[in-house]
Chains A and B, each alone.
Chain A
Amino acid sequence: EPEVTQTPSHQVTQMGQEVILRCVPISNHLYFYWYRQILGQKVEFLVSFYNNEISEKSEIFDDQFSVERPDGSNFTLKIRSTKLEDSAMYFCASSEEDLDTGELFFGEGSRLTVL
């Protein structure tokens, strides 16, 4: 069964460092997303991406965050200068269609710990 894959599974970094989280969405999917979940809290939307551009972003997704689809398969989330409060599980997701009709498939997540 096709799946969304994410790397790394866990990253520990120092405050102020740049982090890149990588995702390979399901190959025929057109819509890509990043969500995050702080430990013990709810899953929060960060950004959606379609046709090589951001289609929506939340208030959390400030200038410290960026996304990129550098080639035909990878979808990355970059945090420029990490803060303690960026510690969370980051989930990449993809869908074949928009979410009015399509199902969202999540990767297993990348746990980011900022020290």
Chain B
Amino acid sequence: RKEVEQDPGPFNVPEGATVAFNCTYSNSASQSFFWYRQDCRKEPKLLMSVYSSGNEDGRFTAQLNRASQYISLLIRDSKLSDSATYLCVVNGRGYNKLIFGAGTRLAVHP
């Protein structure tokens, strides 16, 4: 089983749509969880951390289910500028490295 698994997409959605991405991770010892965004041929940038209680940042909502080892990202009211690849990222306790999923590509069209 891959350490971090994501649906590669692409998700093609119209502006204003709500879209959800899912991610599963294999290491039950993982303690920190993140969503990163990567634009084409650019560096990954932190979008948001994911907390056990779930958290929201504007149009973005992240959820974590430790029992199922599952992370989600919900984007509401999609904008053209949201078009990018969204990377699910985890860190294990005692390990100072991030493990990246392969990413889910989102294309928002007018």
Enumerate chain A interface residues (CB-CB to B < 8 A): 31, 33, 35, 41-45, 48, 50, 55-56, 58, 89, 91, 98-100, 103-104, 106-109
A108-B42 contact in complex given A99-B91, A100-B32, C-beta closer than 8 Å: yes
Give Cα A107 to B100, complex, Å: 16
B19 interfacial by beta-carbon distance below 8 Å: no
Residue in A58, A99, A106 whose Cβ sees the most chain B Cβ within 10 Å:
A99
A108 and B43 contacting across the interface, CB-CB below 8 Å: yes
A108 to B38 Cα, complex, angstroms = 11
Chain A residues whose C-beta falls within 8 Å of the C-beta of B102 in the assembled complex: 41-42
In the assembled complex, the Cα of A17 lies from the Cα of B100 at a distance in Å of 29
Given contacts A43-B87, A99-B32, whether A104 and B95 have CB atoms under 8 Å apart is: no
CB distance from A41 to the nearest CB of B (A): 7
User: Residue B96 contacts which of A42, A43, A56, A89 (CB distance < 8 angstroms)?
Assistant: A56
Neighbour of A48 across the interface among B44, B87, B93, B96, CB < 8 A: B96
Dominant SS at the A interface?
strand
Give per-residue flags for B26-69: 1 if the beta carbon is below 8 A from chain A beta carbons, else 0.
00000110000010011111100000000000000000000000
User: Shortest CB–CB separation between residue B29 and chain A, in angstroms?
Assistant: 12
Whether the pair B44, A106 counts as a contact (CB closer than 8 A) is yes
> Residues of B within 8 Å of A, CB-based: how many?
21
Contact A91 B43 (CB under 8 A): yes
Q: Which residue of A lies closest to B87 (CB)?
A: A43
The distance from the CB of A36 to the nearest CB of chain B, in whole angstroms, is 11
Q: Which of chain B's residues 67-97 have a Cβ closer than 8 Å to chain A?
A: 87, 91, 93, 95-97
Report which of A45, A55, A91, A109 forms a contact with B99, defined as CB distance below 8 A: A45
Would you call A104 and B98 a contact (CB within 8 A)?
yes
| Contact status B43-A106, CB under 8 Å | yes
- In the assembled complex, how far is the CB of residue B10 from the closest CB belonging to chain A, in whole angstroms? 13
Name which residue of chain A comes closest to B46, CB basis: A103
Tell me, rounded to whole Å, the shortest Cβ–Cβ distance linking A90 to chain B: 11
Contact call B97/A44, Cβ cutoff below 8 A: no
